[in-house]
Amino acid sequence: MAQTSVSQSTTNSPVNRSTRSYLRDGLLIVSATLMAVTLYMVFLWVPTEQNLGVSQRIFYFHVPLGWIGMVSIIVVAVASFMHLITGREKWDSLAYATAELGVIFATLILVTGAVWAKPVWGVWWTWDAKLTTTLVLWFIYIGYLMIRAYGPTGTQGKRYASVIALIGAVDAPIIYKATDWWRSAHPERNTPSDLASEMLLTLLVAVVTFTILYAYLLIERYHLRKSESDLDDLHQRTA
């Protein structure tokens, strides 16, 4: 019992809290700096693509958003799987926080894709394989959050949502391979050799920028979600 108390006091010590605070502040500063660099590179440094024109610049936002949207559902699925095995609340908090961010980024994927499709295809939306499977991913995120909000309370609702997350993870590789498996109006996946050096560097910087921003937002939302769960547990015990 004494050993547990010492361990908890060490975990929650001011030094550890200060370290976590410095880490979050560092991620925020780095992501803000890289975002400024990314915006400069996208709009002022990288040359305009001759065939697609200015609209092609949305490529440097659409691709990183697509990357994060697929990574998010994998994280949600892994965290949900760990929660089903261990029953520990920290995994459920991670899954929930990631799903909330995932639905935001999935929405941005669809929006940026539609904005890019209009000047290229002449329509805002077409039932292309890649677009349709991305829309399915968005509905999976929405389904997960709706079950958490309106489904059974307690452990049962969390387990139902975890199953949805595991099913949703199957959609990520389908989205990635959609242009290979089906005839698609969506551009094929580019390899590094397909891009000019300036375009490749700008894309890599954009991916790193959005990944670090995503990590910062996830850490913040995860800690907030843990606090919400602790308050819910306290309310149930005192009720």
pLDDT of 194: 67
pLDDT of 209: 96
pLDDT of 20: 72
pLDDT of 97: 94
Residue (of 35, 78, 93, 129) closest to 228 by Cα position: 93
pLDDT of 158: 87
Instruction: Break the chain into its structural domains and give their ranges.
Output: 58-182+195-238
pLDDT in tens, 176-197: 888 777 776 666 665 565 678 8
pLDDT of 140: 93
pLDDT in tens, 123-163: 888 888 888 999 999 999 999 999 988 878 778 888 899 99
Task: Give the Cβ contact number of residue 50 at 10 Å.
Answer: 7
DSSP per residue over the chain, as a string? Answer: -HHHHHHHHHHT-HHHHHHHHHHHHHHHHHHHHHHHHHHHIIIIISPPBTTTBGGGGGHHHHHHHHHHHHHHHHHHHHHHHHHHHH--HHHHHHHHHHHHHHHHHHHHHHHHHHHHHHHHHSSS----HHHHHHHHHHHHHHHHHHHHHHS--THHHHHHHHHHHHHHHTHHHHHHHHHHHS--SSPPPPPGGGS-HHHHHHHHHHHHHHHHHHHHHHHHHHHHHHHHHHHHHHHHHH-
pLDDT of 1: 43
Whether the pTM exceeds 0.75: the reply is yes
pLDDT of 212: 95
pLDDT of 182: 75
Per-residue confidence in pLDDT tens, the chain, 239 aa: 444 444 444 445 555 667 777 888 888 999 999 999 999 999 989 888 766 677 788 989 999 999 999 899 999 999 999 999 998 889 999 999 999 999 999 999 999 988 888 887 788 888 888 889 999 999 999 999 999 888 787 788 888 999 999 988 898 888 888 877 777 666 666 556 567 888 899 999 999 999 999 999 999 999 888 887 777 777 767 76
pLDDT of 3: 44
pLDDT of 12: 53
Distance CA 65, CA 108 (A): 7
